[in-house]
Chains A and B, each alone.
Chain A
Amino acid sequence: MDFLQIASVHKAYGTPEGTSVRALDDVTINVRNNEFLTLLGPSGCGKTTLLKCIAGFEDLDGGDLILHGRSLRAVPAHRRPFNTVFQNYALFPHMTITQNVGYGLDVACVKKPERNRRVDEALEMVRLSGFGNRRPSQLSGGQQQRVALARSLVLKPSVLLLDEPLSALDRKMREAMQMELKNLQHSVGITFIFVTHDQEEALAMSDRIAVLSQGRLQQIGSPVEIYDAPANEFVANFVGTSNLFAGKVVSRERERVVVETANGRRLASQDDRFAVGDSVKLVLRPEYLHIVGPGQGEPGCVLEGTVKDTVFVGSVMHIHVDVGFGRTVTAHHRHDRADDEPGIAAGAAVRIAYAPAAAHLIAAAGA
């Protein structure tokens, strides 16, 4: 049985000019129990609005939220068994840490001994025992973050909603908190719905990722699915970077699908979900492209061109290659000090090859 259903949810905002903006447009997601689900998208894509709708801070214009078969539409925020970790933590500045964490228990009229026990437990869980009498302003950003987590988890919600909770932390702290959050989710066994615009964060932490853009759900799937088989151009470009070739499927034989671009360039793929004549885009991830010597590489899976420039970023070298017709392709060349580096420098002629299984096809926009 489904746990939490987000069923064709609609939400529009009026603008000062009198027009209305679709913040959420027919979004449907079946949230599973105990999963770490990430809502990923650029700012303004509707991910935070969706989170607010789930929390109950915003009313739906259409659709429904169903938890264990019961609609939540008429349930106000304070009666929903969900808790939120806010982007700015929203710790009550006039209360101590203990009072903050105990707030939800107090308003639920939990008896003092049990309240105190659970607050202590929660603080221990986030490694803040002994900080109970301090004020939020006396804690560091990371500590405030953990108080916010404890304050929500102490209520044992069925879903924990996290609104870009790591965005205010510096890089090191953020990476440490990513692991901590992931581990916490495993140990408490609560569904986490996590909002972020950071694709690396999403890939690193999630069981599943839902990619949103302009109020619409673009794709939902595991990090590997999202990365290797993006559903459309938006996902292909937003999650990681992609080289895209627009064209038509011209032949389809056994495990070999050939796409021809308008310039007559032919590229092969193993993705056989499209029929001959379909307009498609062929997606090539930069790290699946390899520099090969003359004669190497599978026929139909090779691009030839000249190196425009190279950018060394440490683990890999970004190579920008002009492959003709004004197209530039980016390849990520794994940097290895032990290898003999081939002569990759601006102006050099190179051959780039890929495995046909690495080329993914998506429907061309508007097709």
Chain B
Amino acid sequence: MFRGFRPGKLWSALFNSYGFLFLAFLYMPLALIVVYSFNANPINMAVWTGFTLDWYATIFGGAGVEGTFDVAFTESPERIFEVVKNSFLVATTAASISTLIGTATAVALARYRFAGKRFYQALLLLPMLVPDIVLGIALLIFFVGAGFHLSLLTIVIGHVTFLSSYVFVVVSSRLAGMDTTLEQASADLGAGALTTFRRVTLPLIMPGVLGGFLLAFIISLDDVVITYFIAGVGSQTLPLLILAMMRRGLRPQITALAVVIILFSFAVATVGMLLRNRKS
């Protein structure tokens, strides 16, 4: 499309080497974590003393690693499993509810004419624009004041308030790209509003809905700040556990855990991208 832009060879080389540096800036820190996670040195991760899988064993549970590191700074596999379970429970629930709400809202704003549409459009942007910390403390004040017991439920509610907006944005863009005459054609051929939605609209926006769900899922799974304020004593999630571990000091176990998290997030993001690029 812009084949007309042909900077000289020197500029091309400059741009390409800059691009390489840019990607290096993005990936070097993450690559460093991966390398460190296999370093046997328990004191200084920057000094290589040999290859080990011990740190992964402390996460997934393995025999005979107890004595090799400072037990006081290590979380047990059971504890990690518990918070991972909490995280997944919250992320799955919050993403599902947000997907329903966000999709319904996107359909309403894309397919109906009504007064107050602009108000809704602005309102839906707000949760994404308000700084996390403000939303976090506002929810904390509200939950405590309204007598909610801080728990996984309050985390789910808190997440849904801003995740719905993300799903809304993703589904809206899919709806905007869809030909509305298809829905008219369906009605014209005798299908009611529900049948039209189920058989025409939904199949066509499905990649957007799934993409929105995945985005909501991963953001919920990763959320630190809002969860930090509205989590109760018994409702720790994985990011909160890592936060607590990082406050105690940098340990190889965190490094290994970080690698697992990176791999999982990247896998989900890749699936999301494949979904989005799939032509219907």
Contact = CB atoms under 8 A, between A and B. Distances in A.
B203 interface: yes
A57 interface: yes
A44 B26 CA distance: 53
Nearest to B195: A107
B189 interface: yes
B203 to A, nearest CB: 5
Interface string B137-167: 0000000000000000000000000000000
Interface string A143-186: 00000000110010000000000000000000000000000000
A104 B204 CA distance: 18
Interface in A55-79: 55-57, 76-79
B75 to A, nearest CB: 47
A94 to B, nearest CB: 5
Given A78-B192, A104-B189, A94 B280 contact: yes
A82 B280 contact: no
Contacts of B200: 92
Interface residues of B, number: 20
Interface of A: 55-57, 76-79, 82-84, 86-88, 90-94, 103-104, 107-108, 151-152, 155
Contact of B184 (A79, A82, A86, A155): A86
A93 B205 CA distance: 12
B123 interface: no
Contact of A107 (B179, B184, B190): B190
B121 to A, nearest CB: 15
B280 A90 contact: no
Contacts of A76: 187, 192
B53 interface: no
30 contacts: A55-B184, A55-B188, A57-B188, A76-B187, A76-B192, A77-B187, A78-B187, A78-B193, A78-B196, A82-B188, A84-B184, A84-B188, A86-B181, A88-B179, A90-B182, A91-B185, A92-B185, A92-B200, A94-B280, A103-B186, A103-B191, A103-B199, A104-B191, A107-B186, A107-B189, A107-B195, A152-B188, A152-B189, A155-B189, A155-B190
A76 B196 CA distance: 13
A56 B185 CA distance: 11
Contacts of B195: 107
Contacts of B182: 90, 92-93
A88 B189 contact: no
B204 to A, nearest CB: 6
A76 B204 CA distance: 23
A360 B204 CA distance: 55
B189 A151 contact: yes
A57 B187 contact: yes
Nearest to A84: B188
B203 A94 contact: yes
Given A55-B188, A90-B181, A107-B199, 13 more contacts: A56-B187, A78-B186, A78-B189, A83-B188, A86-B181, A86-B184, A92-B185, A104-B190, A107-B186, A107-B191, A107-B195, A152-B188, A152-B189
B191 to A, nearest CB: 4
Contacts of B190: 78-79, 104, 107-108, 155
B186 to A, nearest CB: 7
Interface in B201-232: 203-204
Contact of B181 (A77, A83, A88, A151): A88
Contacts of A90: 179, 181-182, 184-185
Main secondary structure of the interface of B (DSSP, over half): helix
A91 B188 CA distance: 12
Nearest to B180: A90
B179 to A, nearest CB: 7
Most buried by A among B179, B181, B185, B204: B185
Contacts of A151: 189
Nearest to B181: A90
Most buried by A among B184, B195, B204: B184
Contacts of B199: 103, 107
A79 B193 CA distance: 11
A79 B190 CA distance: 6
A83 B185 CA distance: 8
Contacts of A56: 187
A273 B143 CA distance: 83
B51 to A, nearest CB: 50
B188 A77 contact: yes
A315 to B, nearest CB: 38
A83 B188 CA distance: 6
A54 to B, nearest CB: 11
A93 B201 CA distance: 11
Contacts of B191: 78, 103-104, 107
Interface in B66-110: none
A155 B191 CA distance: 12
A204 to B, nearest CB: 26
A108 B179 CA distance: 24
Nearest to A99: B199
Contacts of A92: 182, 185-186, 200
A222 B221 CA distance: 69
B184 A77 contact: yes
A84 B185 contact: yes
Nearest to B192: A78
Nearest to B183: A90
B256 to A, nearest CB: 44
A97 B177 CA distance: 22
Nearest to A79: B190
B189 A103 contact: yes
A84 B186 CA distance: 10
B280 A93 contact: yes
A14 to B, nearest CB: 9
